[in-house]
Amino acid sequence: KPYQHKSLFSGLRMAAIDYRQLEQNIESVELNIRNRNATADARRVAALYKQFCALTFNAGELRKLRNENAALMKRAAQMSAEERSSAVAEGKRIKQQIADLEAELAAVEEEMEREAAKIPNATHPDVPIGEESNATVLEVRGAPRDFAKEGFEPRDHVAVGEALDLFDFDAAARISGAKFYFLRNAAALLEVALVNWALNECVKQGFTPMTAPDLAREAVVSGCGFNPRGEGSQVYTLSDSDLCLVGTAEIPLGGYFADQLLEKSALPVRMAAVSHCFRQEAGAAGAATRGLYRVHQFTKVEMFVLCAPEDSETEHAQLRAIEQRLFDALGLHYKVLDMPTHDLGAPAYRKLDIEAWMPGRGAFGEISSASNCTDFQARRLNIRYREKLKDNRYVHTLNGTACAVPRMILAILENFQNSDGSVTIPEVLRPYMGGMDIIRAPSVATAAVK
């Protein structure tokens, strides 16, 4: 087992996949790569693994010869000058062969694992094949509000929020650039309320509440299946450093148990963390993404689970149930989607998205997702558990969004706006808003602080 003693932080590369399983199921792996529209060459990886195994065997044989030569040299005093010279020359030759072979082995291993890292996770058999439009609707909850019956046309969250002095995009653009924002007045209180409420609800479900660093090492980011650098990366990186701004608390929570061996009795581990999230969102533009819908920085409460492999589908269903309880409590109209292969990314075995109706946008918009990543992240992060003595296995990891604050604020403003321009605060949030039940335009004195 050539990867048994490697660790994420040792500088040694982790095994991205089970290479023996790849060899035995090469055709199904290739089909999965095509279905997920990924760029990977399974046969190249299998060939590199075969070469790696052969080189590893040859290196072992050479080390045996080196040991035999070393044992022979212990009797150098009993040798003739010719025998001693021959043994010394043979030792040097073996030493050079080992050095050459180890250099070749390291190069092959590096390429093998670089190519293997491109292979996506396996896919749940119920996941639909193809593009996002092929998503399967698993459930629809609630009903859209009949604004026409109430006698007014719903506005989008930007118009609602600007009239109530809830945010300032222009000032943020001057300071930080496009897709940043200031939350003001009741919107600032609403962010704190949403975070506290969501975190408390997670605690009721057995999750450990946490805060998480906003920075993570590249090894942790890539270990979670995100591309920290290069074309198409959504990750902000720090120059002259291996640190990245995290796009989700999933990353630091995944890294929390990197290189750890857990007892099975300690599973499942359930954590819920508050963090800032940073995403480049390259290429995202247009009316559908304006305002708070797609931004570079936001606050989120993220759930993260480590469990035994046989429990991961049950834990996935539990994450979905928690998310739905939260959105039911807010009174949102939403649908649950089983996302198709093109939308899974590399880590997810299965991903369930929840989209809420946003009447100002005139469309559903994603507010949450829950993913079962099986052992994809655990392999890269080296997170294992002890099944029994001398039987250590990789855990399964899962993640789910309890509350992505900007999308929640958007959904609340658009769904609970009133004809007079005010917004009714969902009842479950009022205790966290100091008893405020309606957001109204601030006083003239407050509005002047701009």
* Mean pLDDT, the chain, whole residue set: 92
**pLDDT at residue 170 in the model:** 95
> Which of the 8 DSSP states describes residue 350?
E
pTM: 0.90
Q: What are phi and psi of 317, to 5 degrees?
A: -65, -35
- Determine which of 23-37, 71-85, 352-366, 416-430 has the lowest per-residue pLDDT on average: 71-85
Note if 369 is an active site residue. Answer: yes
pLDDT (0 to 100) of residue 122: 96
> Which segment of 230-244, 320-334, 339-353 scores lowest on mean pLDDT?
230-244
Please give the average per-residue pLDDT across 53-81, as a whole number. Answer: 91
Q: Can 279 be counted among the known catalytic residues? A: yes
Asked about 294 being catalytic, the answer comes back as: yes
Say which of 36, 217, 294, 320 is annotated catalytic.
Answer: 294
List 313, 366, 386, 440, catalytic entry: 366
The helices-and-strands tally (H runs, E runs) of the chain is 14, 18
C-alpha 51/C-alpha 352 separation (Å) is 39
Q: For residue 365, what pLDDT is reported? A: 96
- Residues with Cβ within 8 Å of residue 348, at least 6 apart in sequence: 121, 371, 372, 373, 376
| Active-site position among 312, 361, 407, 414 | 407
Question: Could you tell me the two tokens for 259?
Answer: 């290189």
Enter the tokens of residue 194.
């949403």
Q: What per-residue confidence (pLDDT) applies to 310?
A: 98
Question: Are 38 and 348 a contacting pair, CB within 8 Å?
Answer: no
Task: Mark 122-131 as b/e (b = at least 16 C-beta within 10 Å).
Answer: bbbeebbeee
Q: How many CB atoms lie within 10 A of CB 324?
A: 18
Rounded average pLDDT over 30-45: 96
The residue annotated as part of the active site, out of 279, 320, 380, 384, is: 279
pLDDT value for 76: 84
Residue 325 catalytic? no
Q: Is the pLDDT of residue 338 over 70?
A: yes
Given the residues 218, 369, 380, 384, select the one marked as catalytic. Answer: 369
State yes or no: pLDDT of 1 exceeds 80: no
Would you say residue 3 has pLDDT above 90? no
Segment 380-386 mean pLDDT: 95
Spatial CA neighbour of 227 closest among 203, 247, 202:
247
pLDDT value of residue 10: 54
In the prediction, which pLDDT does 216 show?
96
End-to-end Cα separation, the chain, in angstroms: 63
